[in-house]
Amino acid sequence: MTQHLDTLSVHAGYTPDATGAVMPPIYTSSTYAQRAPGEHSGYEYARSGNPTRWAFEKALAELEGGVAGFAFASGLAAMSTVLELLDAGSEVVAVDDLYGGAYRMFERVRNRSAGLKVRYVAPEDTAAVRAAIAPSTKLLWIEIPTNPLLKLIDLRAAIDAAHAVGAMVVVDATFATPYLLRPLEYGADIVLHSITKYLNGHSDVIGGAAIVRSPELAERLGYLQNAIGGVLDPFSSFLALRGLRTLPLRVQRHCSNAQAIAEWLGQQAGVADVIYPGLPSHPQHALARQQFPRGFGGIVSVRLQADEAGVRRFLAALKLFTLAESLGGVESLVNLPWAMTHASIPEEDRLRRGVGPNLLRLSVGVEHVDDLIDDLRQGLAQIG
């Protein structure tokens, strides 16, 4: 029976066990009894498999429409394990606006340890994306929307171009969530999430996930998950599965609040630019409407008409928007990418990509939108 995603989010991944528990218990055992050497019930050692983690991984696969899901100790643990699918010296094409931790992994870790060669391309330029993908390309790395400038990519065109040369496609859809976008339906090979963000949704778990489209990739990534060992622990798996149960409800509120705040900010003195795919002013608004029919996400980026001192006064005045890294929790957060999440990117590259000292990233929570707007209003009053 086909189920709507709202229903899947509540029921995916778990059938009550012998006790009848409607939520999976937290299985903390590190090892499992075997009937005879090599004969077990499906679990032998908790790194290789855990019933609580398995329920969460199965739910992830069902929500994304994949054949298998894998949960890791962090988003970067998921990313680093996925990159182990590549041979040393492989060539990668990646979007040029991306999470600072991903850039750090590419340039300061894998370039040195594995000779990874990464070329960056503007995702909004479909012709440039196609031109960047060469016969030597082994992987196309996409964030959608990008972080923090909320750029989009024509998924179908980009994935087709990558597959035409035999390259694998990985899509980090942390900002989108499976409620707004399911990249595997466009042909992506792997979809990544920082579980820390919207999937868990309560700012109390660190985790990452990879969901794959094919049995062959499931076998390869499952082997690497066990061999490298950066797995999600049982308690975090339990909390994250709890978070999935309310994902549609939360994302709907995130989206409606973010849309209202983006529209309001666009009318305010002291605001130089508002970046949000749901605004007609967004250069890819038409593509956003096509790829995101349920809503445009909970992130709003904004450039203030202020110097560094003015930005700091704005941030200090906020009461509901907490100055903090991360995003996707029920509470509203504000981040200065220049000095926080993207500080690992060289200053020249940050400026060239449009990540300056006056750019803020708002993670809009589920509070009442009028209260959030009032908070931003009194913050803007401190700029002048």
The catalytic residues are: 47, 99, 172, 197
Euclidean distance between CA atoms 194 and 241, whole angstroms = 14
Euclidean distance between CA atoms 205 and 76, whole angstroms = 14
Instruction: Find tokens 């967004």 and name the residue.
Output: 282
- How long is the chain? 384
As a whole number of Å, the end-to-end CA separation of the chain is 58
The answer to whether residues 322 and 334 touch, using CB atoms and an 8 Å cutoff, is yes
What is residue 44's DSSP assignment? S
* Six-digit token string for 202: 């309560």
Q: Nearest Cα to 139, choosing from 115, 169, 97, 109?
A: 169
Alpha-carbon torsion 74, 76, 77, 79, what sign? positive
The bridge status of strand 137-143 relative to strand 168-172 is parallel
Euclidean distance between CA atoms 331 and 319, whole angstroms = 12
H/E element holding 274?
strand 271-275
SS3 category, 203: coil
